[in-house]
Structure 1
Amino acid sequence: MNKPFDMELFLSGVLSGSHATRQRHIRQAKIIQAEIAVRWQRETPWVWQRKHVAWFLDHRMSKRSEETRYYYVLTVRLLARRLEKSWVFNL
C-alpha cells in the first residue's frame, strides 16, 4: 500500500515567511502536482522534468492573471530549489 506524497513535508526545508505564505505555496504545489500527475502520470516531484513544469506554467496558467502566474512561478522556484535543479522560468 502506497502512502500519498506529502507535499508539505517535501517543501518544509525551503519554506519561509508567514503562515499564510507557507500555506499558499503548499496549496499551489499540490495543484501543480495534481495537474502533472493527470497529464504526465508523474506522481512526485522527484520524477518531474523541466518540461513538465514548463507545460503547467504555459498551458494551465495561460488564462490566469499576471499576479496568479507570478505566485505560481514563486512556488515553482521553491520546488526547483528543493529538487536542487537550476530551472529558470520567465514570467
Structure 2
Amino acid sequence: MSKPFDIELFLSAVLTGSHATRQRHVRQAKIIQAEIADRWQRQTPWAWHKKHMDWFLEHRLRRRSEATQYYYLLTVRLLACRLQKTWVFNL
C-alpha cells in the first residue's frame, strides 16, 4: 500500500510568510488536491495540467466570495511555482 501524497511537504519549498499564512496555503492545497483527485483521479500535483487548476478556480469557487477566490488563486500560483510551470491564472 502506498502512502498518500504529502502536499505540505510538496509546498514547503515555496511557502513563506507567517505560520497562519503557510497553514492556509496547505489547507487550501489539500482541498484543491482532493477536488482534482475526485474529478480526474489525479492524486499528485505532478499529474495535474493547467486545465485542472482552471476548472477548480472557475467551477469549484464560482459561488465563493471574491476574497476566497483571491486566496485560492494565491495558493494555485504557489502550486504552479512549485511545479516550475509558467501558467497564468486570472479570475
- TM-score by length of structure 1 reads 0.99
Q: Partner residue of 2:22?
A: 22
Unaligned 5+ residue runs, structure 2?
Answer: none
Counterparts of 1:24 and 1:80 in 2: how far apart (Å)?
17
Deviation at 1:70, TM superposition (A): 0.1
Deviation at 1:74, TM superposition (A): 0.1
Q: Post-superposition, which runs of at least 4 consecutive aligned residues in structure 1 deviate over 2 A?
A: none
Deviation at 1:13, TM superposition (A): 0.3
Render the CA deviation track for 1:18-39: whole Å, top value 9, x for unaligned.
0000000000000000000000
Counterparts of 1:54 and 1:64 in 2: how far apart (Å)?
15
Over the aligned positions, Cα root-mean-square deviation in angstroms equals 0.4
Unaligned 5+ residue runs, structure 1?
Answer: none
Render the CA deviation track for 1:51-78: whole Å, top value 9, x for unaligned.
0110000000000000000000000000
In the alignment of these two chains, the number of paired residues is 91
Instruction: Report whether the alignment pairs 1:39 with 2:32.
Output: no
- Return the letter of the residue paired with 1:38: D
- TM-score by length of structure 2 reads 0.99
User: % of aligned pairs identical?
Assistant: 76
Counterparts of 1:58 and 1:40 in 2: how far apart (Å)?
16
Q: Partner residue of 1:3?
A: 3
- Return the letter of the residue paired with 2:28: Q
Counterparts of 1:73 and 1:47 in 2: how far apart (Å)?
19
Q: How does 1:50-61 map to 2 (within 5 A)?
A: 50-61=50-61
